[in-house]
Structure 1
């Protein structure tokens, strides 16, 4: 009888130990699984934060590199007006936005590769504008042929259109103080500024205040 009780106790103790061991293993596996999930969550969270920060930096770069500017275009253009562009855009981009040149335009009067600056006011010239300086020279030549005695006086009294005259025209006009070197500076300044000299101040920037003041009586700014 005592032997049976002893064996029964051994069996009960063994079953208890088995349950205790299994319970411990299950608890340990749950803890490991939880830790793995936390680790995965942290890694995913860190990756998301990195991606968000990277996107923010990229967006900032894109925003800085594409600042909005405004410029006006008029003259021989299909849809003159004020247009919004991005910094770094060229005059050609502005021309395209405005619908392109008219049939009466002189496309080569403008440098399409030049960058647009905020606040630019760009004129597209007509074919007549280009021929204007040539017509003035022809008129002077005809006058000299028909009135040889008065040709010198007529040429001196005729003012030179500084916006249509070529470098050679300026030299031939024989304006006091303006030699070939200065006439070249005038033309170069004009080409860098949308093909125009708009005022005496522009002329001063090209050749200096004193020279500009001296030649104003010999030229006209149209």
Structure 2
């Protein structure tokens, strides 16, 4: 009996103050969102970094490989290639290779130069006492290429001993024979003795 009038009064109150109540509720909601908004973690934007990969194309050099190799010929190699790369490109050593000569003269770590002639001694060369220097270090006029000659070959130059030969090898590569003087690897007197016996190519 007492609940009916109370409920009726509540309905009358809501009907009377309907608009203010709605506005009040909306205000509470907006205020609540205002406090909670900063706390809502928004998804982080993934930064996509585009890395431009520039493929550096190295220059190629031409090397003529002949003698005791399986596939003699002219090969195009990277400018940073070594003697070992040229031998591998030619199929490796052939059965005719002179192993003693290779052990004494071939510097597989020597850097190649464009237009270089690489000749590997054969057993026939050994029997005929052919004095071929390491892989093209000697040109037609019998000059020694200081860029690829072995320590033993450099040691044959007048005024050049094992220590100087090692310095020459450590100072590679050379653009011209005068680099031996400019880099103070040999003195003027020694250079005058060997300048006509050495070359760079």
Query: Scaled by the length of structure 1, what TM-score is found?
Result: 0.46
